[in-house]
Every structure is written in C-alpha cells, then in structure tokens.
C-alpha cells in the first residue's frame, strides 16, 4: 500500500468539526461514547483482515479516515482465521485458504464471550483488539469461525457468524466499558449488534417500545444491495437455535418473533425496524434501491456516496502535489478553489507522475502471476488499459472481448496492453455463468498469438494490485450494467491517480450529471459494446497528445474530487447522524 506516511498531523480535530459546522460533536463522540461501525467485512490486509471486495474496502477506508480525523471510532468485525486466495492452473481458478492469527497482526486478546446455541455446547469467542490512533479494531474469532461468506447466505453457519459478530461484539464493547454514541450497521448482517443493545436496555428495565425508539435514533443502516430478495433470511427454528438463547428479555424475544412472516424473517426487515437513519451509497443507488418494510411501505434511503481514503489509494507523489498546491486541504477535503488549481496544472508536471506510476505498476507485477503463471512487465512506451473488478456478471469483465478483432485492433494500433484482475466467486465451476464467461474469454486470448502477449489476467486480485493498476494504467475500463452498481470505488482510485475513465454511467459515477468521463452508453448491449470501443479509441488518441490527455484527466478529477474524498464521506455521515441533535 502506498502513502501511509503522508499524513499531516492534525493538532486538534475540533478544527475539522468546526469546518463541518458541528463543533459540538466533540462532546457527542468520545472515547467512552465512540462511533461504532459494525461490519462482516473489512479489507485491510496490513491488519490481517482481508475482505472480499468493495464493502470491505469501504469499511477499512472509513476507519482510516476516522483515524486521520482523530474521531473516536471502533470497527466491530470478525477476525477470520482463514483467508481466501486464488490461483490459476490451466486457466482454471482455484481457491486456496491461508491461515491467519490475530497475534501476528498486533492484536491483543482481552477476553472471551460465550454464544449459546440450543441443544449444543456454547461457542466460545476470543475477543481481540487493536488500537490505531483514536480508532480500534474490536474483533471476535474462534477456530471454527470459518471464512468470510462461507456457506449459504441463509444457512445456519451464516446466522452463527452474524450472531457472533452482533451479540458477541456487543458484549466485547461492554468489556471495554464503552457505549456506542451511534452504531453504523454496514449491511444487514450486522443487525444483532442492535438486538444486543435492545436486550441490554430491556434487561435494565426499559419498556421494549421505549427501547426500540431509543435504539432507532442511534442506528444507521447502510445499504449496498439493490435487491431486497438477495438478502439473507432465516426461519423461526434457526432463530430458536442461534438467536433466542442469547436474548435475555422475554419481551424482546416476543417482539422479534412477531416480525416473522410465513415462518421467515429477512435481515433487511429486522434492520429497517431498528434503524431510523438509512442510507444508500450513491445518489442513483439511494434512488433505485427498492426496499419495503414489513408493512409494505417503501423505504427512504438518504444518498451518501462512498469515498476513498486518499492517503491509502493516491500515489504519494500525486497526493503531495494535491496538498502542496492546495487542491486538497490537510483533511484531504477539496479546497475552496480546487477546480481552478487543477486547471492550472501543466501537462508536463502531471505526466511525469504517471511515468512514476508505471514503474510502481511494474514493481507490483514483478511479484504477481498472470493466467499462465508468469510475471508480467509492461514496456515503458506501451499504453495500458486496466480492468480490475470482482468477476461478477453485472460488472461484465468480458465485455471488451465480445469482439476479438476489435479489441485486437485497438491494442495493436495503440501499442497497448490490457491488464485485468478480479476474483471469481469461490467454489464455482463449469455451468456457472461467470465461470464459463471467464473460461471462454481466457481461451480466446490464449489461442490468439497477439492477445496472448498483450492481455494479462493477473491472479489473486487484492488491494496492492488494485492500487498499482490505478496508479500505473492510462485508461481504466468500468462497464457495469447500468442500474446494478451500488457505488463502486475502483473508478475513484483511477481518477484520483490521473487515469482516464471509460465507464458506463452507473453507481457513484452517475452522481454527476452529465458525468465527466468517457461515457459508454447504448440502449442495448450491442450499442454499449460499440460505444465502449469508440471511447477506448478516443481515450487512446488522447493519450498520444499530452495537452488533450491533461485536459481530460483534469476534467475528470475536478468533477469527481469531492466525491472521491473519504473525508467528505465522513462529513456527510456526521452531518446526517447528528443533525437532529444540534
């Protein structure tokens, strides 16, 4: 990872709170009453917790930004003792599990909590913590905890993991002697943290309905999923086994029991009942996410678009430029006149940074393997396209290979390489749509003499690769099917690192209207494919002319900088969460 020591020391976070007109926050959030962020997934390999994708990257970045802004903040998350990696043999992806221990990453054990399971012995969770500035990780684990998202999303083991995170995690907070000032529930798998809080209030004598009113006011449900039906749901019997034995208040058990419909309860329905504040992660997503509460009312999501931790994702030399020219301030917030300053940057000064970026990409690629098991090096004079996204159908990683002659011509005419990466879902094989598409794409590439040399699928996608690819590429391809991307943050990594974005207008990209990108559009798939090739050619042309190139990257950066800024995201959350109490 780059840029970790690029931080300026911030003497007093009061200045940040003042800057966002919430000076009184200093009294609302404290070490004893921290901002608690609950998440099944964190993507922070340096701290030993490596998630699966965007949700985890967001969680990791949110904590990092909180640390930089000296916000008292706790990330409540499981520590998975097995981490999933992917390698490729004969073009077939294979999962490998790598063992991890909290003690290898500076975590300290602070105790144990028991999770009761009906008709089974208790499960004993070990609680570990790690302090990082004003923030800390508080994690729970045990040898049979399993991998992130292992098993069926509505299966027993998943419910066990959710209960361990929520009910176990809340007990861990008590162990530390803290009470959440607010709890942000990063997706519905975290809802049992709130159930635990309710239980505590009821056991202490509060009426169940008063307790619900209280927790609703202190919870934020952050939704990343477009389709409610994709959410986990469990049967009453599963609750009797894993949840109810851990709830002391009969009134609370009775209340939850009353939320079941046809013997099942969807986790989004439970979360919606228990959180007044709800948000989606881009403007488009908040608008289109069609969720209903148990009475059938459509849920209103506030839009708070994801941002990224610029210290983590922007090449240090580029971030230094942004800071020294006052494009961003010491909080990594866009300055007042950032647009003018960006426009005044010379092509030369930013082009040299991209050269440096290419060297960083090659340094990363030296330690990585392509689809044939070889390390790749990109010649200095070549143009680089990147595609780096999880391999799921809606992100359409195969789209640039729909017309092999066309992609070949584009790469040939522009002396270009195409570097792609992205994990496949685990445990899939022939018959799975994404798997078959990947096989088909890689096979076409392998049997073409030119493409075999120019298209590199780098295996075991992770954040180091994501970072190096956004820093070292010239043009990034991002083509989710419109309406399917909740936000996406990899496009932000590209723009922040002066990489031209060729993209459909979806997720966070669509926050701006019109979107200042090389937009891929079309009413049907074939039109979109043609539009994508056209934009790839136009972008490649720009890269041959420094002035045109600079104009485009500056246009994209000045448009998206406020969206990209993770501090802006934190500001939005703080304003949203504390608005009623000012």
2 near ligand PLP, rule: CB under 6 A: no
Shorter beta-carbon distance to ligand PLP: residue 329 or 463: 463
Strand bridging mode 233-235 / 264-266: antiparallel
Closer CB to ligand PLP, 50 or 218, in the complex: 50
> Which is closer to ligand PLP, CB of 199 or CB of 463?
463
Applying CB under 6 A, the span of 49-57, 138-146, 322-330, 522-530 interacting with ligand PLP comes to: 49-57
CB of 462: closest distance to ligand PLP in angstroms? 5
For the chain, how far is it from start to end, CA to CA, in angstroms? 38
Number of residues in contact with ligand PLP under rule CB under 6 A: 13
Residue 114 CA from chain centroid, whole number: 30
Q: Please, which residue, 40 or 195, has the CB nearer to ligand PLP?
A: 40
Instruction: Identify which of residues 112 and 462 has a Cβ nearer to ligand PLP in the complex.
Output: 462
Tokens of 66: 């909180």
Rounded Cα distance between 154 and 235, Å, is 9
**Contact pick of 3, 34, 48, 54 for ligand PLP (by CB under 6 A):** 54
At closest approach, how far in Å is the CB of 85 from ligand PLP?
Answer: 12
| Distances in whole angstroms, Cα of residue 226 to Cα of each of 229, 466, 487 | 9, 24, 11
β-strand partners of 108: 129
> Taking CB under 6 A as the rule, which mask of x and - marks residues 97-136 in contact with ligand PLP?
----------------------------------------
Other Cβ atoms within 10 Å of 502 Cβ, number: 27
- Which tokens sit at 26? 């200093």
Is there a contact between 474 and 543 (Cβ–Cβ < 8 Å)?
A: yes
Q: Which is nearer to ligand PLP, 490 or 558 (CB)?
A: 490
CB 196 within 8 A of CB 252: no
Q: Which of residues 488-507 bind ligand PLP (CB under 6 A)?
A: 488-490, 493
Which CB atom, from 247 or from 284, has the smaller least distance to ligand PLP?
284
In sequence order, which residues have a C-beta less than 8 Å from that of residue 104 and are 6 or more positions away?
48
Whether the CA torsion 224, 87, 443, 531 is positive or negative: it is: positive
What is the per-residue binding string for ligand PLP in 445-464, x denoting contact by CB under 6 A? ----------------xxx-
We find the least distance from the C-beta atom of residue 463 to ligand PLP, in angstroms, to be 4
Stretch of 51-59, 73-81, 180-188, 427-435 lying at the interface with ligand PLP (CB under 6 A): 51-59
For residue 137, give every residue at least 6 positions away whose Cβ sits within 8 Å of its Cβ, in sequence order, or none: 42, 47, 49, 63, 74, 75, 77, 107, 128, 129, 130
The radius of gyration computed from the CA coordinates of the chain, to the nearest angstrom, equals 24
> Using CB under 6 A, which of 162, 281, 289, 466 touches ligand PLP?
466
With contacts defined by CB under 6 A, name the span among 53-61, 171-179, 201-209, 515-523 that binds ligand PLP: 53-61
Residues 400 and 380: beta-carbon distance below 8 Å: no
Q: Alpha-carbon distance 515 to 116, whole Å?
A: 51
Looking at 141-149, 155-163, 429-437, 485-493, which segment touches ligand PLP (CB under 6 A)? 485-493
Other Cβ atoms less than 10 A from the Cβ of 363: the count is 12
**Is the CB of 190 or the CB of 489 nearer to ligand PLP?**
489
Q: Which C-beta is closer to ligand PLP: that of 57 or that of 515?
A: 57
**415: closest CA among 544, 286, 329?**
544
Q: Please, what is the minimum distance in Å from the beta carbon of residue 13 to ligand PLP?
A: 27
Token couple for 123:
């499960």
The one-character DSSP state at 164 is I
CA distances to 280, 312, 532, 542 from 498, rounded to whole Å, are 27, 15, 20, 13
Supply the minimum distance, in Å, between the C-beta of residue 495 and ligand PLP: 12
Residue 527 half-sphere exposure toward CB, CA atoms < 13 A: 6
Per CB under 6 A, 53 contacts ligand PLP: yes
Under DSSP, the state recorded for 31 is S
Smaller CB separation from ligand PLP, 54 or 72: 54
Residue 458 beta carbon to ligand PLP: minimum distance, rounded to whole angstroms: 12
216 in helix, strand or coil?
helix
Taking CB under 6 A as the criterion, which residues in 373-402 touch ligand PLP? Answer: 389-390
Residue placing its CB nearer to ligand PLP in the complex, 462 or 546: 462
* Beta carbon of residue 51, minimum distance to ligand PLP (angstroms, whole number): 8
The string of DSSP letters for 331-393 reads TS-B-TTHHHHHHH--HHHHHHHHHHHHHHHHHHHHT---TTS------TTSEEEEEE--B-G
Window 167 to 206, contacts with ligand PLP (CB under 6 A) = none
Give 389 or 456: the residue with its C-beta nearer to ligand PLP: 389
**50 contributes a contact to ligand PLP by CB under 6 A:** no
Which stretches of the chain bind ligand PLP, using CB under 6 A? 53-54, 57, 389-390, 461-463, 466, 488-490, 493
């Amino acid at each position: 990872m780059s840029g970790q020591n690029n931080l300026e020391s911030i003497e007093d976070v009061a200045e940040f709170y003042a800057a966002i007109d919430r000076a009184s926050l200093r009294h609302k959030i404290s070490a004893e009453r921290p901002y608690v962020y609950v998440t099944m997934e964190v993507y922070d390999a340096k701290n030993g917790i490596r998630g699966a994708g965007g949700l985890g990257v967001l969680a990791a970045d949110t904590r990092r930004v909180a640390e930089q802004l000296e916000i008292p903040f706790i990330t409540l998350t499981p520590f998975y003792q097995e981490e999933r990696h992917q390698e490729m043999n004969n073009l077939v992806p294979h999962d490998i599990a790598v063992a991890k221990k909290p003690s290898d990453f500076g975590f300290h054990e602070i105790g144990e909590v028991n999770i009761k399971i009906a008709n089974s012995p208790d499960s004993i969770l070990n609680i570990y913590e790690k302090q990082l500035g004003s923030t800390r990780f508080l994690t729970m684990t045990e040898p049979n905890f399993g991998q992130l998202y292992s098993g069926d999303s509505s299966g027993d083991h998943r419910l066990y993991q959710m209960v361990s995170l929520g009910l176990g995690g809340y007990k861990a907070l008590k162990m530390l002697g803290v009470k959440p000032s607010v709890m942000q529930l990063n997706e519905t798998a975290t809802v049992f943290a709130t159930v635990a809080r309710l239980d505590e209030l009821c056991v202490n004598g509060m009426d169940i309905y008063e307790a619900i009113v209280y927790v609703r006011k202190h919870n934020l449900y952050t939704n990343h999923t477009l389709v409610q039906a994709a959410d986990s749901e469990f049967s009453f019997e599963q609750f009797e086994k894993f949840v109810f034995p851990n709830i002391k208040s009969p009134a609370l058990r009775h209340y939850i029991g009353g939320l079941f419909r046809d013997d099942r309860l969807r986790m989004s329905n439970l979360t919606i009942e228990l959180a007044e504040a709800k948000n989606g992660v881009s403007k488009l997503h908040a608008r289109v996410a069609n969720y209903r509460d148990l009475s059938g009312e459509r849920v209103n999501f506030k839009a708070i678009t994801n941002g990224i931790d610029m210290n983590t994702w922007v090449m240090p030399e580029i971030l230094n430029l942004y800071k020294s020219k006052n494009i961003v301030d010491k909080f990594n917030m866009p300055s007042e006149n950032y647009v003018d300053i960006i426009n005044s940057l010379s092509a030369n000064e930013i082009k040299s940074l991209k050269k440096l970026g290419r060297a960083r990409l090659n340094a990363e690629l030296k330690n990585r393997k392509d689809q044939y098991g070889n390390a790749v090096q990109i010649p200095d004079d070549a143009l680089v396209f990147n595609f780096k996204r999880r391999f799921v159908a809606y992100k359409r990683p195969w789209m640039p290979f729909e017309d092999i002659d066309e992609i070949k011509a584009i790469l040939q005419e522009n002396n270009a390489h195409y570097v792609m990466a992205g994990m496949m879902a685990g445990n899939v094989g022939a018959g799975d749509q994404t798997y078959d598409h990947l096989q088909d794409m890689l096979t076409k590439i392998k049997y073409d003499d030119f493409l075999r040399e120019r298209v590199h699928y780098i295996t075991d996608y992770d954040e180091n690769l994501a970072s190096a690819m956004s820093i070292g590429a010239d043009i990034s391809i991002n083509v989710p099917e419109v309406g399917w991307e909740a936000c996406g943050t990899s496009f932000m990594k590209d723009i922040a690192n002066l990489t031209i974005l060729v993209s459909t207008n979806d997720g966070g990209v669509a926050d701006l209207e019109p979107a200042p990108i090389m937009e891929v559009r079309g009413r049907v798939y074939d039109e979109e494919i043609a539009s994508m090739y056209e934009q790839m050619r136009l972008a490649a042309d720009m890269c041959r002319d420094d002035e045109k190139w600079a104009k485009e990257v500056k246009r994209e950066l000045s448009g998206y900088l406020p969206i990209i800024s993770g501090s802006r995201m934190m500001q939005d959350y703080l304003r949203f969460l504390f608005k009623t109490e000012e």
